[in-house]
């Protein structure tokens, strides 16, 4: 085995941003989309998942197809969206189809939140 191997990388220890983090919510930390697994105050370390399947708040006006590209609206809305709007971060794909009117969507995180559109 490689002597420089550290961990699988599905979860990371990160520093909570201003305002802290709440377990179960998604945060964009630089270029990482992470679901906090533990709550932490600003500046404290927390564990976060960067891959896996999570139920996340979604834009209720949208219907999603299975496999659709999902973005994170990191404005005051703080929710997943299938819109490719400027300022939204790509975070993964829809695991199942959901209809308009639903407020939760199932998303498989891709591990990064590359530069916002």
Task: Kindly report the backbone phi and psi dihedral angles of residue 33, in degrees, each rounded to the nearest multiple of 5, phi listed first.
Answer: -95, 120
Residue 47 lies in a domain: yes
The predicted pLDDT at position 6 comes to 86
Q: How far is CA 70 from the centre of its chain?
A: 10
Within a domain: residue 84? yes
For residues 63 and 98, the answer to whether their CB atoms sit within 8 Å is yes
Task: Tell me if 35 sits within 8 A of 81, measured CB to CB.
Answer: no
Residue 1 counted as domain residue: no
pLDDT at position 112 is 75
User: What is the predicted pLDDT for the residue at 54?
Assistant: 97
Grouped pLDDT means (10 residues each) for the chain, 117 residues: 86 96 95 95 97 96 96 92 89 96 96 66
With respect to residue 115, please indicate whether it lies within any of the assigned structural domains: no
In a domain, 48, yes or no: yes
56, 109 in Cβ contact below 8 A? Answer: no
Alpha-carbon distance 10 to 103, whole Å?
26
Asked whether residue 3 is domain-assigned, the answer is no
Full domain range(s) for residue 38: 11-110
Q: Would 106 be classed as within a structural domain?
A: yes
Number of domains observed in the structure of the chain: 1
């Amino acid at each position: 085995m490689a002597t420089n191997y550290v961990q699988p990388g599905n979860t990371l220890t990160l520093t909570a941003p201003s305002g802290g983090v709440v377990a179960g919510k998604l945060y964009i930390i630089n270029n990482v989309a992470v679901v906090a697994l533990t709550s932490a105050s600003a500046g404290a370390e927390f564990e976060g998942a960067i891959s896996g399947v999570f139920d996340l708040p979604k834009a209720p006006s949208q219907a999603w197809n299975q496999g659709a590209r999902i973005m994170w609206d990191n404005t005051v809305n703080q929710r997943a969206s299938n819109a490719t709007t400027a300022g939204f971060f790509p975070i993964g794909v829809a695991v199942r189809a959901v209809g308009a009117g639903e407020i939760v969507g199932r998303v498989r995180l891709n591990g990064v939140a590359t530069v916002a559109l």
